[in-house]
Structure 1
Amino acid sequence: MNSQYSKENILKELSVDNADYYFILFKDEVVGNFRIVWDEKLANLSEEKQVKLHRIYLHPKTQGNGIGKELLSWLEEKAKEKGYKIIWLDAMNEQPQAFQFYEKLGYQYHSHTFLPFELLHDKVRKMSQVYKKI
């Protein structure tokens, strides 16, 4: 938390030209954040225009309100308007409900990667890379 949400890291993420960063409001309260990176390609997938959903974090109390589904639907529409064909993301393997959520929305498994953060336990390092053609 201290590294990912440090003032320095947030300012660094906000300064990336091809990225958009949003805070998510629900009932007039900030309940999460959402970051997308345009033109970031998932290796060995295709040459089509791709956008990476870099981060979607929602407070657990918001689950079941359709916020995640609405955010991904919004991203699909925005990506289509810009001519993108693929949305992809890294989903934590330690959170199978998240992977199932993406699967229900049409995302498919592509590969996996491991987070490089040294303070993480090995069991939470593995991330499934999933994508959806839009």
Structure 2
Amino acid sequence: MNQSIEAVQLEEVEKLRTLSMFTFKTTFEHGAYTEEDFDTYFNEAFAVEQLKQELQNEDSFTYFFKEDNEVVGYFKLNINSAQTEPKGPDYLEIQRIYFVPQAQGGGKGKRVIQFAIEQANRLNKTKIWLGVWEHNAQAFNFYKKQGFTVTGEHQFYTGEVIDTDLIMEKVL
């Protein structure tokens, strides 16, 4: 199976939007969210204009993960002021890692983390951080195995629902 990581192009914004909404909903549909909560979040986080701004931000980098030239996931990296928390110039944030359900597993997450480390090194960053939902034990355990440790928490809003994300960091 041929795998590749490719930067999302501006003309692919609709594909990114569709994938973002689908993977987010399938990941969290068994939580305490209503359709209205999802719609509110999607209209803010995944609006076409919002995604275009992110794709044009020189401090944000969004990538498609492909298998045999088919998009099966995506992830987003942020530095400097594009980070969702003011972590400072030494940090690279992994804001999103999502795969379609049938493509989860098989080492893809490890490949994304390795890619993020390579980008952090290229950009002279010494730390990587991310937020993970406190109730997502599978993701939490994965990041822990990758060398991330909990350093704090922040709130994440999905419509009317307020969740706690654990902030996890890895020193490079």
TM above 0.5, yes or no, is yes
1:110 alignment counterpart:
151
Residues matched between the structures, number:
129
Cα separation, 1, equivalents of 2:95 and 2:130: 6
Matched, 1:73 2:114: yes
What's the % identity of the aligned pairs? 26
Q: Distance in 2 between matches of 1:53 and 1:88?
A: 6
Q: Which amino acid aligns with 1:27?
A: D
The equivalent position to 1:126 in structure 2, one of 164, 167, 171, is 164
Question: Greater shift after overlay, 16-25 or 33-42?
Answer: 33-42
CA distances 1:72-102 after superposition (whole Å, capped 9, x unpaired): 1111122113221000011112211001100
Determine the structure 1 residue equivalent to 2:93: 52
* Equivalent in the alignment of 2:69: 28
Structure 2 counterpart of 1:18, one-letter code: D
Q: CA deviation at 1:42?
A: 5.4
CA contact (8 A) 2:79 2:89 kept: no
TM-score (normalizing by structure 2): 0.67
Amino acid across the alignment from 1:19: S
Q: Greater shift after overlay, 94-103 or 58-67? A: 58-67
Which runs of 5 or more residues in structure 2 are unaligned?
1-20, 22-41
User: Is residue 100 of structure 1 aligned with residue 141 of structure 2?
Assistant: yes
Q: Distance in 2 between matches of 1:62 and 1:116?
A: 26
Give the TM-score of the pair, scaled to structure 1.
Answer: 0.85
Corresponding position of 1:8: 49
> SS of the counterpart of 2:143?
helix
Alpha-carbon distance between aligned partners in 1 of 2:124 and 2:116, rounded to the nearest angstrom: 12
Runs of 4+ in 1 over 2 A off after TM superposition: 1-6, 39-43
Residue of structure 2 in register with 1:84 after alignment: 125
Q: Which has the higher helix share?
A: 2
Please give the per-residue CA displacement for 1:9-68, whole angstroms capped at 9, x wherever unaligned.
21121122211111111222111111111124856x7x6611111111111211221111
Between the aligned partners of 1:76 and 1:82, the Cα distance in structure 2 is: 10
Root mean square deviation, CA, Å = 2.0
